[in-house]
Structure 1
């Protein structure tokens, strides 16, 4: 039998052993080994942006006077940028993966200029129509035409071929064919108007999509008569002392309207009120054919200045003239035709 003294020594020894374990720690480590911190950025050998090898397209100058202006590269973008730099407003009749039809316009009363051109998806220009006119100064018409020709032609036809056209214009007022390495041109020089059209050799111009309003001539006449218009070859309503508001239109029998002109004239105060009224009557009767887009464009450009643009598949022109006693304003909405 073990004595009490021995038991006491054993208990004291056990307590000392446990105390050493508590303060000295385990033999096994209580934390994991420290690892090297991983980098938080991308490896320096990888690109941080989009690949640069893919071709890019850019919109040339934004919307042309609220008409839609789509993408263009190459010759088409260069020509557009140069024409916009000369004060032209540019817009597209259409712009698809197969190609585009673009117009750049500048009008000012009795003078104006336009560059119409078609191009493929890579920007190659394949057909053109250039025209400048000035009813008051024949020389100014030629100067304006030469600006158009150089802006579009130097990079498209080549400067030496542009000179061939310039030389033909200098020969005087006549119609002529001008052959170049780019293609064959038809030149018409009437003095107050100079016009050039042609297409690239081996290429055909693009077909234009058909465009018309759903409203027929008979339906429009009925609607305008109900508004108090007298309709013969056009529909007309008297305004003020000697003014009038008029709606003139064209359509094949039983077909939708393809051309319409809304106008007002008379004393300035009368005409200013009459044109919005005539526009409201016409737009209220027209259906289909992107009429809402055309209406919005016309309403956004009612400051009395001239405008031309492709809008909703139409060529829209706003023009007019005024004096102290007389004002005339017109809005023309036409189906575009193009021969080159």
Structure 2
């Protein structure tokens, strides 16, 4: 899940994710596609929806969580009660991929899990990050771990993982009756991923827009952007608006990030301009649904959700004289 601002890399861990990622440049290898459900927002920047049963969703641009029973519903309810916003990347009769996110400045937390039609969770990834306070990152990790793990792999397994964290383990394989986990702990960010014994994680479908990198580059150059590793246009005396995108060869764009850095009163207007410039070219891949979601969440708060099969993250700081805004749209990658 690569996040790039002005050519630099921002890892969003989940939260850490907002996340342990890599740098993408034009060109590269093929990777996953998807499609699915997003969610409605709640105050504080977190999308939040009901997990009451529905017919379920597969590829599409839905705005509600699909069906969830058993473990998946219990975990979703707990996380929503903790202020997380949950949304589905996909939700079909065979299974679902759900993410619950909570971003508050430097504090980020997320729980991503996959479950079968009976609600049984078969794969999970939990991440927390707090760049300002390592202890808070560990406390948050423990809270999310309990919300996900007590119903899924049991209190004994949760305790085993927590002990590994308390003893300062940086990288550890943790075996439990539920399955095998891989843990990493840098102090300010913690991550745990694993899948149930005898079960495989669900495939995440590939996702691309129809628009190619060459088409986007040509369109932005026609609007006076200077394109190198990203496309950039000056804003005012010191600011800039940028569009970074990644595609595999001549295939459609798989990641795109829009960002603005400028005087505070120019940030919103410049973001509207860069949105119009990029989405005026971006076709296919539920681009209209993604654009609508971003426009509905242009209030300066942080948001993260699955929208139309994409992982969409919105953040920025417009509180000072000089501000910034960033929108990241990525195909999902999931390893457990």
* TM-score class normalised by the smaller sequence: 0.7 to 0.9
Q: Indicate the residue corresponding to 2:297 in structure 1.
A: 301
The answer to whether 1:216 aligns with 2:212 is yes
The CA RMSD measured in Å over matched residues stands at: 1.4
Paired residue secondary structure (1:241): coil
The answer to whether 1:88 aligns with 2:104 is no
Larger gyration radius, structure 1 or structure 2: 1
1:325 to 310, 321, 327: 321
CA distance in 1, matches of 2:63, 2:303: 11
1:180 to 167, 176, 181: 176
CA distance in 1, matches of 2:132, 2:52: 39
1:110 to 102, 106, 128: 106
Paired residue secondary structure (1:72): coil
Paired residue secondary structure (2:280): helix
| Cα distance change, pair 173–272 in 1 and its aligned pair in 2 (3 A) | farther
Matches within 5 A, 1:1-340: 58-59=52-53, 67-340=63-336
Kindly provide the CA deviation profile for residues 64-90 of structure 1, in whole angstroms up to 9, marking residues without a partner as x. Answer: xx8431110000000000000000000
> How far is 1:239 from its partner?
0.3
> How far is 1:172 from its partner?
1.1
Paired residue secondary structure (1:107): strand
Q: TM-score, normalized by length of structure 2?
A: 0.81
Q: Indicate the residue corresponding to 1:50 in structure 2.
A: none
> How far is 1:226 from its partner?
1.0
> How far is 1:258 from its partner?
0.3
Kindly provide the CA deviation profile for residues 134-183 of structure 1, in whole angstroms up to 9, marking residues without a partner as x. Answer: 11111111111111100010011111111001001111151100000000
Kindly provide the CA deviation profile for residues 83-109 of structure 1, in whole angstroms up to 9, marking residues without a partner as x. Answer: 000000000000000000000000112
> How far is 1:111 from its partner?
1.6
Q: Report which of the two has the higher share of helix.
A: 1
Kindly provide the CA deviation profile for residues 305-339 of structure 1, in whole angstroms up to 9, marking residues without a partner as x. Answer: 00000000000000112442211110000000000
Q: TM-score, normalized by length of structure 1?
A: 0.80
Paired residue secondary structure (1:221): helix
CA distance in 2, matches of 1:240, 1:145: 42
Tell me, yes or no, if the aligned pair for 2:174 and 2:181 is still in contact at 8 Å: yes
Kindly provide the CA deviation profile for residues 103-145 of structure 1, in whole angstroms up to 9, marking residues without a partner as x. Answer: 0000112220000000000000000000000111111111111
CA distance in 2, matches of 1:72, 1:222: 44
Tell me, yes or no, if the aligned pair for 2:149 and 2:155 is still in contact at 8 Å: yes
Q: Indicate the residue corresponding to 2:57 in structure 1.
A: none
Question: Bigger CA drift: 330-339 or 66-75?
Answer: 66-75
CA distance in 2, matches of 1:146, 1:67: 30
Unaligned stretches of 5+ residues in structure 1: 1-56, 61-65
Unaligned stretches of 5+ residues in structure 2: 1-50, 55-61
Paired residue secondary structure (1:71): coil
